[in-house]
């Protein structure tokens, strides 16, 4: 796959490897913790900035996405921790292989600002 997509950029370059990822869930002190190992490949020649969203259904706990910088031509497993308020009256622990994760590539635009550096005397 690296040869096929070696010059790809943006969302074409980044792939979430679901079957090599996992998440553990645990409630503790009215807080839901989710610790994930997420494998992301970047086939392209540029560093890509991405947002990783956990499985966040409309009725879910409201985990906020995490922003990561993914180096070019890389295959990495990232350790990510999410926390949210738990609105349950009991504790639980759970583990999920192949979690539903969504990845968005950030399209950052650079703006060049030219500043006049000449000193004026009056």
Structural domain includes residue 3:
no
CA dist 12 and 85 (Å) reads 35
Residue 109 is predicted with a pLDDT of 44
Structural domain includes residue 55:
yes
- Tell me the residue range of the domain where 35 lies: 10-105
Six token digits for residue 18? 């679901």
Whether the Cβ atoms of residue 13 and residue 43 lie closer than 8 Å to each other? yes
Structural domain includes residue 56:
yes
Domains held by the chain: number:
1
Residue 116 is predicted with a pLDDT of 54
Q: What is the pLDDT of residues 37-86, one digit of tens each?
A: 999 999 998 999 999 998 755 555 678 899 999 999 999 999 999 998 87
Structural domain includes residue 114:
no
Whether the Cβ atoms of residue 44 and residue 6 lie closer than 8 Å to each other? yes
Question: What's the CATH code of the domain at 98?
Answer: 2.60.40
Residue 118 is predicted with a pLDDT of 56
**pTM (two decimals):** 0.75
């Amino acid at each position: 796959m690296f040869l096929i997509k070696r010059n790809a950029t943006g969302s074409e370059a980044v792939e979430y490897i679901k079957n090599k990822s996992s998440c553990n869930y645990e409630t503790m002190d009215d807080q839901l913790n989710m610790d994930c190992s997420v494998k992301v490949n970047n086939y392209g020649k540029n560093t890509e900035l991405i947002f990783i969203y956990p499985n966040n259904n409309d009725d879910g706990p409201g985990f906020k996405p995490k922003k990561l910088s993914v180096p070019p031509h890389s295959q990495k497993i990232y350790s990510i921790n999410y926390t949210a308020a738990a609105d349950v009256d009991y504790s639980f622990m759970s583990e999920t292989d192949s979690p539903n994760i969504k990845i968005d590539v950030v399209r950052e635009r650079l703006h060049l600002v030219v500043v006049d550096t000449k000193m004026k005397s009056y």
